Every structure is written in structure tokens, then in C-alpha cells.
């Protein structure tokens, strides 16, 4: 559980500070493509950490916004070891779900996870470029990309990713890109990564914690990410940073049909099938109220 005494100074600092932390691209601190064996192993294990809370938030937004609620196709870009892709299959009944990543070792781990989860009949993973995927336009009901935009070198490349997501999505489909948010100063970022990263260190995920620290410095501010919305898109777009302490943000493109963005309430899971473990439920409820 997050300690309020630890988080309050971070919230106040973020609210009162000016933006002094400049972005440090991951190409300056390490490879943006995670293909080293230790990175793959630790990213694969990270689903048991608080990362599951962010995934649950992304899943809830999809549940509340998507138009088509039965069948169809989904694609998850920059999927890593495939946990979020597989959660899409677990909680929604898409007939086909594809996960795409540039890292062959990540895709190999994802395909093994699909077999382990018993979902290989509906989910498959491919090594491919998320900014230039070989598929027809308007061919997916859902296009997602989670926790990956900060890996890209420039906003221009993030714009290519957003444009490709927009191209792949059916006019009545949903596009959702979620990512970290760069905080305002180095000291605030250090306090935040120490607080959140302790869970990773307790699980022996030291490499994952190092990558998390680098990622927080490579992340885009919410103002920066909003600039990548495709100019010629037929969808309506919404940039939605987390409230109070904006460390997670969503950029969502949804049908421009005059309807409301949120169509339903509730959750796509039961208490027994919740993606977040019981030990993190209090943190999950807090996170949910801030998105």
C-alpha cells in the first residue's frame, strides 16, 4: 500500500513546481528495444507487481468506451511479453487478438505466455514495426499501445505510431495509447521512482526498476503527447492525464458519432477474476479514482 506520508510531498511538489526536468531519451541510457534476456525475464515477471494496476485502469477505460462489445478484432502494439494483450482476450470476447513487438525475444515470451494462459487459439504475436504494420486500414475494432511511447526517440516517431493506430482502427473502433508522464523535476522523479520502485526491488526486479527510472525521465508530458493526435483523423481525441499526481496518461481516439465518450459503468471482471492481486487492492482503488 502507498504510504500517504511518502506520497503527499510528491503531490505538493508536482503541483507547485515548474517544469525543469528535460526529457532524457532512452537511447542515451540504454536500448529502446528490450531484447536482452534479463530484461525479457524481468518484464515477464513484472505482471505480479503494481504494473497490474495500470493495466487494470487501461482495461476499465476500454470497457467503458468501446462501441462494439461482441466479436471483432483487436491489436496491441509494442506488446512486450504480451500480458496486456492476453488480458484483452481474458476479459473481452474479441475473435482475434494480435500482439506486435520489435523484440523477437519478447514475442517468443509472449507466445509462450499465450500457450500457458490457454489463449493461443485466439491470440498470436508477431515481430513487426508498430509504426508501419502490414495490415489493411480500418481492420481492427480496438488498437492499443501501453507503456511504450516513451521508448520512442522523438515526438515525430510517436506521431507516426499514433497515425498508424488511427489507420488500423475501424471508423467505429477505439484507439487507446497509454504511457507514463514525465514529472516536473529531477528530485520529484527520484522520490516517486524510489517509492513505486520499492515493490520491484522487493521482487528482485532490479533491472526492471532501473528501466522504470530511465522511462520516467524519457516520458512525455501530457502537453507534449497531445500534439501527436493525427491531423486528418476522423475520430474524436481526448488526452487524459491522471489527476492529482499525473504519472499515467491516456490518449484516446473514439468514434466521431456524436455520442458520449463513456457509455457504460462497471468493470469487465468479477472479484474472483480481478487482474490486480488482493495485496494491491487499496492501491488499485486509489488509482481508479484518479483516472
Residue-level pLDDT at 35: 65
In Å, how far are 9, 30, 58, 154, 206 from 21, measured between CA atoms? 17, 19, 26, 16, 24
Q: CB 279: neighbour CB atoms within 10 A?
A: 11
C-alpha–C-alpha distance, residues 278 and 273, integer Å: 11
CATH value of 34-183+221-289 in 2.160.20.60, 3.90.320.10, 1.20.1730.10, 3.40.50.150? 3.40.50.150
Nearest Cα to 161, choosing from 128, 134, 117, 131? Answer: 131
Alpha-carbon gap, residue 276 to 256, rounded angstroms = 32
pLDDT of 180 reads 97
Strand order in the sheet with 140-146: 123-127, 96-101, 73-77, 140-146, 169-180, 248-254, 236-241
The three-class DSSP label of residue 99 is strand
pTM of the model as a whole: 0.94
Taking CA 236 as the corner, what is the angle to CA 232 and CA 242, rounded to the nearest 5 degrees?
120
Cell of residue 254, nine digits: 473514439
pLDDT at 184: 96
> Which one-letter DSSP state was computed for residue 224?
H
| Pairing relationship of beta strands 169-180 and 140-146 according to DSSP bridges | parallel
Low-confidence ranges of the chain (pLDDT < 50): 30
Geometric angle at alpha carbon 160, from 156 and 166, rounded to 5°: 140
Residue 216: its pLDDT value, please? 96
Parse the chain into domains and list their residue ranges: 34-183+221-289
Measured between alpha carbons, how far is residue 130 from residues 76, 95, 102, 217 in Å? 9, 21, 8, 22
Amino acid at each position: 500500500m502507498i504510504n500517504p506520508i511518502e506520497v503527499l510531498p510528491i503531490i505538493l511538489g508536482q503541483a507547485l513546481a515548474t517544469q525543469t526536468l528535460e526529457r532524457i531519451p532512452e537511447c542515451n541510457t540504454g536500448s529502446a528495444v528490450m531484447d536482452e534476456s534479463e530484461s525479457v525475464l524481468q518484464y515477464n515477471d513484472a505482471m505480479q507487481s503494481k504494473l497490474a494496476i495500470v493495466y487494470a485502469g487501461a482495461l476499465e477505460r476500454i470497457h467503458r468506451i468501446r462501441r462494439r462489445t461482441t466479436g471483432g478484432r483487436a491489436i496491441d502494439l509494442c506488446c512486450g511479453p504480451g500480458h496486456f494483450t492476453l488480458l484483452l482476450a481474458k476479459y473481452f470476447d474479441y475473435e482475434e487478438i494480435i500482439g506486435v513487438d520489435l523484440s523477437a525475444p519478447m514475442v517468443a515470451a509472449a507466445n509462450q505466455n499465450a500457450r500457458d494462459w490457454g489463449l493461443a487459439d485466439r491470440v498470436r504475436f508477431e515481430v513487426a514495426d508498430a509504426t508501419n504494420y502490414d495490415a489493411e486500414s480500418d481492420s481492427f475494432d480496438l488498437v492499443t499501445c501501453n507503456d511504450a511511447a516513451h521508448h520512442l526517440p522523438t515526438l515525430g516517431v510517436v506521431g507516426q505510431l499514433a497515425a498508424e493506430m488511427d489507420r488500423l482502427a475501424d471508423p467505429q473502433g477505439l484507439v487507446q495509447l497509454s504511457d507514463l508522464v514525465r514529472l516536473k523535476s529531477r528530485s520529484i522523479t527520484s522520490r516517486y521512482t524510489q517509492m513505486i520502485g520499492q515493490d520491484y526491488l522487493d521482487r528482485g526486479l532490479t533491472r526492471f526498476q532501473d528501466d522504470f527510472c530511465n522511462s520516467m525521465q524519457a516520458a512525455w508530458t501530457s502537453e507534449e503527447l497531445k500534439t501527436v493526435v493525427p491531423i486528418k483523423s476522423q475520430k474524436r481525441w481526448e488526452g487524459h492525464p491522471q489527476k492529482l499526481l499525473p504519472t499515467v496518461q491516456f490518449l484516446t481516439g473514439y468514434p466521431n458519432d456524436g455520442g458520449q465518450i463513456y457509455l457504460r459503468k462497471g468493470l469487465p471482471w468479477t472479484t474472483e477474476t480481478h487482474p490486480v492481486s488482493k495485496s494491491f487492492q487499496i492501491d488499485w482503488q486509489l488509482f481508479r479514482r484518479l483516472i
